[in-house]
């Protein structure tokens, strides 16, 4: 019944709560390289596109209805809608929508999706405070640094234990970011981190349900509230993160304190953020990437006789579904992903709609794909050979799929991804302007323009994406 | 750096999430004994008195200020004030105030303070819904049964690991109680429990700070929100509590599933709830109890020559402070507690005010107390001998202090305790009426009368208790 585990406490941990608080409160505005600065804009834009794209999804809508019962003040926008709620609930709902398609960013070292908790809290608070774009970008970089460093400290044991690391570290990241935006001093920032430490959000058991995307939303709301409480003088343990009965030692059996302090203020974890090009599990990405490249070389559904893939064993283990029946099953089919890449040149959320999965040309093309396991192939790679009806063979090898750190999504790729999610919600023109506003956010006097452009105007749109969801992984 | 612990998952747990959901949704109204019914009223009244008593405390006031930033709708009362906020934040603030003096109830088997999370969520929601008193009492009994059974399942390993069990199980109890009040069916109640399972609140490291009372408040708010989300169709794992990566196996190394199911619906954990008679740690209670009994036998500060105590070793280890300098230090002084018992006949929050601690007669009386460790004395007991100036000796032995399960607080004791906290806030007449309204709650058509009587009228009061706090333990 009961398992015995010996937890021996580390009583001599360095004061990481204080160290992080001083860093968050004291690091200079834009105190980083151009590359970090640019990555922050990419992170923010990618997050915003995901949130707008899922604005009409059932999980977002259910959260909106639940918060309406609280009769919230119209403080902050629910992205992609014309609804405003109090900033705490805006953080919650935008955190939910941004993770609903499981299409947001990934800090690969920890599998944290860092933007959801941090950006959702920051933008809601910034709208209320009238913060400048500069302040927003500063808060995002520092908040994400906190959550990902805490993740580095505990990964993988914390994740293996069953915590959804995005939410459990996200509360801390959101609290740090909001403390920065509120201009709290180091003492109060330390309290904000302390209050947040008592509120880890997220169990892996929830994967496949709406509570998975709830995790970054709940973390955003809890982190924001922690900073507001700290501002008003609420107190917490000064060693909430590192004490023997503090956060790290309670929720993890690994706590590599040096991950908090190594190169702090010099190396920024947002540098290691990546963005998914395809709305499905990452093991399929090399295969879809290969198919898009084959399409660019002239391969079509019509001229293809057969596609032979050599893949890592995980691909068939996790995504070996030969005949998916709907969008959700399509997410677990490398065959469907390949057909989407060949026919559409992409695998966005739209390619996982039920009617697309069941379209005759998709079914036929899936049938032409043969995948076999090759133990010499890395998880990040694929070996693909297209045999055409005219007898020609085209061979391709992808070593690192698009979206990896080695072959990052270009800014143009990110814009295409954004458009694919946002065009149907906000319209093409407004989407284009919104992306431009994101790219120049640091120069904006306030977040007003971004908010205005992320607002659903009049009665446009009506498109709903309900078939798939974060349910996918 | 990293500790290795072997966590072997139990994949064959019974479906306790479902079992609890069916119980909460389906158990008949007032489906329990008169004793359970009466205990529910005692629990509710004791909780309410604690919340009213701390209405003006700095931790409550800081929380009010923080939530005002959200411009909340006037849905539910902050107890002991004339402020209304949205019901989620009312649950938060009342949960904080009810635990601020560390003077609320205790489920001794688990050291859970069960009322804070459950009653705070229930009353706020009931005010908004217009629920009947009957529905409120039903929700309280069932919600507390859920949190305490989950506690029984995991105690003591879960607590030893570092979780403040009041908040970590409280989210589930609050979600269950609110699901009942919202009349959710078993399926949706199961979802509410599932969403709540992802939000355990509370680290023991926070003891001594405002974040300790934040725990029941945060749990109340999170549980209420979980039920509201479930009502709107939000989904969670159907096995959120018992799955290998579910709540119990993530936050505890002990999970005695039978504690959930044994005598479910027959034995109610609220039966084992107790109420603190004195506003300090429980190890001092036998000594204070003895002093109050000596006072009743004619012992006074003037006629006392010397008081000899034989105590359990924990008493001096935890509360051996000979010369406390303020109220907070007074909480850690068995000597101060004895002086309060002899001079005031009680040790309520008022006896832990700084000026009382430093009063000359208190200082003098403290100096007459000698405490020695006796290994034959149980933790729940004390052996006391008062030596009077006229040479007489009065000997007393307390085997179980007042407030224990063996010698529970009487209803009259609870009323005295309530008055001591509420009179200065609401006035004596209103306090008397409020207690009457609590005793007859199950017969009330709504919670309107309780809410009206718990509201600060006009400009009465102004008394603030800021000296001590939950900081005490």
Nearest CA in chain A to B226: A66
pLDDT tens figures, A222-236: 999 999 999 999 999
**B260/B297 same-domain check:** no
**A213/A322 same-domain check:** no
Is B305 contained in some domain? yes
Preferred mutation among A1, A3, A190 to probe B, highest tally of B CBs within 10 A: A3
Helix (H, G, I), strand (E, B) or coil at A371: strand
Query: What are B203's strand-pairing partners?
Result: B163
Contact (CB<8Å) A234/B210: yes
Residues 6+ apart with CB under 8 A from B208: A237, B471, B473
**A222/A316 same-domain check:** no
Q: Are strands B393-398 and B382-388 parallel, antiparallel or unpaired?
A: antiparallel
Contact (CB<8Å) B240/A59: no
pLDDT surpassing 90 at residue B6: no
Nearest CA in chain B to A8: B3
**B230/B335 same-domain check:** no
Is B415 contained in some domain? no
Q: Are strands B304-311 and B369-373 parallel, antiparallel or unpaired?
A: parallel
Contact (CB<8Å) A234/B246: no
pLDDT at B318: 85
pLDDT tens figures, A278-302: 998 888 999 999 999 999 999 999 9
Is B214 contained in some domain? yes
Contact (CB<8Å) A253/B198: no
Query: Residue A101 gets which letter from DSSP?
Result: T
- Residue B451 · residue B127 · CB < 8 Å: yes
Contact (CB<8Å) A75/B75: no
**Chain A residues touching residue B65 (CB < 8 angstroms):** 232
Among A8, A72, A246, beta carbon nearest to B3: A8
Contact (CB<8Å) A161/B250: yes
Contact (CB<8Å) A66/B240: no
Is A1 contained in some domain? no
Domain count, chain B: 2
pLDDT at A107: 96
Among A250, A275, A300, the domain boundary falls at: A275
**Chain A residues touching residue B244 (CB < 8 angstroms):** 162, 205
- Distance, in Å, from the CA atom of B223 to the CA atom of B217, rounded to the nearest integer, reads 10
Distance from CA of B399 to the nearest CA of A (A): 33
Nearest CA in chain B to A258: B1
Nearest CA in chain A to B214: A195
pLDDT tens figures, B231-262: 999 999 999 999 999 999 999 999 999 999 99
Among B202, B205, B240, beta carbon nearest to A203: B240
CA atoms within 13 A on the CB side of A354: 7
pLDDT at B7: 53
- Distance, in Å, from the CA atom of B225 to the CA atom of A69, rounded to the nearest integer, reads 10
Mean pLDDT to the nearest integer, B349-353: 92
**Chain B residues touching residue A204 (CB < 8 angstroms):** 245
**B174/B292 same-domain check:** no
Contact (CB<8Å) A205/B162: no
Angle at the Cα of A252 from the Cα atoms of A263 and A250, rounded to 5 degrees: 110
**Chain A residues touching residue B88 (CB < 8 angstroms):** 70
Contact (CB<8Å) A2/B86: no
Domain of B170, CATH number, reads 1.10.4100.10
**A294/A235 same-domain check:** no
**A315/A203 same-domain check:** no
- Distance, in Å, from the CA atom of A175 to the CA atom of A195, rounded to the nearest integer, reads 9
Contact (CB<8Å) A237/B65: no
Distance from CA of A48 to the nearest CA of B (A): 22
b/e sequence B38-74, b meaning 16+ C-beta within 10 Å: ebbbbbbbbbbbbbbbbbbbbbbbbbbebbebbebbe
Contact (CB<8Å) A206/B199: no
Query: What are B398's strand-pairing partners?
Result: B382
Alpha helical stretches, state H, A54-132: 58-68, 87-100, 115-129
- Burial of residue B349 (number of CB atoms within 10 Å: 0-12, 13-18, 19+): buried
Is A314 contained in some domain? yes
Among B75, B88, B253, beta carbon nearest to A4: B253
pLDDT tens figures, A378-413: 988 999 999 999 999 999 999 999 999 999 999 999
Among B256, B275, B294, the domain boundary falls at: B275
pLDDT at A458: 74
Report chain B's mean pLDDT, rounded to a whole number: 94
Give the distance, in angstroms, between the CA of residue A96 and the centroid of all CA atoms in the same chain. 11
- Residue A25 · residue A419 · CB < 8 Å: no
Q: Using N-to-C axis directions, what is the helix angle for A211-231 and B58-68, rounded to 10°? A: 120
**Chain A residues touching residue B70 (CB < 8 angstroms):** 72-73, 75, 86-88, 228
pLDDT tens figures, A45-59: 999 999 999 999 999
Helix (H, G, I), strand (E, B) or coil at A382: strand
Among B275, B305, B339, the domain boundary falls at: B275
Q: Rg of the Cα trace of chain B?
A: 22
Domain of A345, CATH number, reads 3.30.1330.120
Q: What are the φ and ψ backbone dihedral angles of B373, each rounded to 5 degrees?
A: -80, 135
- Residue B223 · residue B167 · CB < 8 Å: no
**A198/A315 same-domain check:** no
Distance from CA of B217 to the nearest CA of A (A): 12
Is B324 contained in some domain? yes
pLDDT surpassing 70 at residue B299: yes
Mean pLDDT to the nearest integer, B290-304: 97
Is B224 contained in some domain? yes
**A75/A121 same-domain check:** yes
Mean pLDDT to the nearest integer, B130-139: 98
Preferred mutation among B234, B247, B252, B470 to probe A, highest tally of A CBs within 10 A: B234
- Distance, in Å, from the CA atom of B468 to the CA atom of B327, rounded to the nearest integer, reads 5
**B125/B196 same-domain check:** yes
**A191/A267 same-domain check:** yes
pLDDT at A459: 56
Mean pLDDT to the nearest integer, A137-151: 98
Which range among A196-205, A318-327, A394-403 shows the weakest confidence by mean pLDDT? A318-327
Could you give the dihedral angle defined by the CA atoms of residues A328, A334, A337 and A338, in that order, rounded to the nearest 10 degrees? Answer: -160
pLDDT at B8: 62
What is the residue-wise DSSP string for B431-447?
HHHHHHHHHTGGG-SSS
| ipTM for the assembly | 0.92
Mean pLDDT to the nearest integer, B148-153: 98
- Residue A367 · residue A314 · CB < 8 Å: no
What range defines the domain where residue A375 resides? 282-398
Is B117 contained in some domain? yes
**A258/A332 same-domain check:** no
User: What is the separation, in whole angstroms, between the first and last Cα of chain A?
Assistant: 30
- Distance, in Å, from the CA atom of B175 to the CA atom of B181, rounded to the nearest integer, reads 10
Contact (CB<8Å) A70/B88: yes
Mean pLDDT to the nearest integer, B171-183: 99
Contact (CB<8Å) A201/B199: yes
- Residue A394 · residue A299 · CB < 8 Å: yes
Task: Tell whether the torsion through CA atoms of B375, B379, B381 and B385 is positive or negative.
Answer: positive
What is the residue-wise DSSP string for B34-100?
HHHHHHHHHHHHHHHHHHHHTTTSHHHHHHHHHHHTT---S-EE-TTSS-EE-HHHHHHHHHHHHHH
Nearest CA in chain B to A214: B195
Contact (CB<8Å) B162/A249: yes
């Amino acid at each position: 019944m009961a398992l015995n585990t010996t937890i021996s406490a580390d009583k001599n941990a360095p004061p990481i709560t204080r160290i992080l608080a001083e860093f968050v409160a004291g690091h200079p505005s834009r105190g980083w390289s151009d590359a970090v600065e640019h990555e922050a804009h990419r992170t923010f834009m990618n997050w915003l596109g995901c949130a707008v794209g899922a604005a009409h999804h059932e999980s977002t809508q259910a959260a909106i209805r639940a918060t309406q019962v609280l009769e919230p003040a119209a403080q902050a926008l629910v992205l992609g809608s014309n609804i405003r709620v109090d900033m705490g609930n805006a953080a919650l709902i935008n955190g939910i929508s941004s993770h609903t398609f499981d299409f947001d960013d990934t800090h690969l070292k920890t599998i944290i999706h860092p933007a959801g908790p941090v950006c959702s809290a920051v933008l809601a608070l910034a709208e209320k405070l009238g913060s400048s774009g500069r302040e927003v970008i500063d808060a995002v970089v520092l908040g994400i640094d906190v959550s990902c460093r805490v993740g580095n400290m505990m990964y993988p044991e914390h994740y293996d234990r069953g915590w959804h690391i995005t939410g459990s570290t996200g509360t801390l990241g959101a609290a740090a970011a909001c403390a920065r935006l509120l201009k709290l001093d180091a003492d109060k920032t330390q309290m904000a981190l302390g209050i947040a430490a008592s509120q880890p959000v997220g169990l892996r058991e929830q994967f496949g349900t709406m509570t998975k995307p709830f995790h970054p939303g709940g973390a955003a709301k809890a982190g924001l509230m922690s900073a507001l409480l700290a501002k008003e003088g609420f107190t917490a343990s000064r060693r909430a993160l590192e004490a023997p009965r503090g956060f790290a030692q309670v929720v993890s059996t690994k706590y590599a304190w040096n991950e908090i302090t190594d190169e702090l203020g010099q190396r920024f974890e947002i540098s290691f953020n990546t963005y998914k090009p395809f709305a499905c599990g990452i093991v399929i990405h090399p295969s879809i990437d290969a198919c898009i490249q084959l399409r660019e070389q002239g391969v079509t559904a019509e001229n293809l006789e057969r596609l032979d893939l050599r893949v890592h064993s995980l691909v068939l283990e996790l995504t070996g579904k030969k005949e998916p029946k709907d969008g959700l099953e399509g997410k677990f089919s490398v065959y469907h992903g390949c057909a989407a890449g060949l026919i559409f040149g992409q695998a966005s959320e739209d390619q996982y709609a039920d009617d697309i999965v069941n379209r005759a040309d998709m079914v036929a093309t899936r049938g032409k794909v043969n995948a076999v396991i090759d133990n010499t192939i890395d998880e990040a790679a694929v070996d693909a050979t297209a045999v055409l009806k005219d007898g020609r063979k085209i061979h391709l090898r992808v070593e690192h799929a698009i979206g990896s750190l080695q072959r990052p999504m270009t800014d143009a790729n990110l814009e295409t991804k954004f458009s694919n999610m946002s065009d149907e919600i906000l319209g093409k023109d407004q989407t284009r302007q919104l992306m431009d506003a994101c790219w120049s956010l640091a120069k904006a006097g306030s977040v007003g323009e971004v908010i205005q452009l992320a607002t659903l105007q009049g009665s446009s749109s009506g498109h709903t994406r309900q078939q798939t969801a974060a349910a996918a992984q």
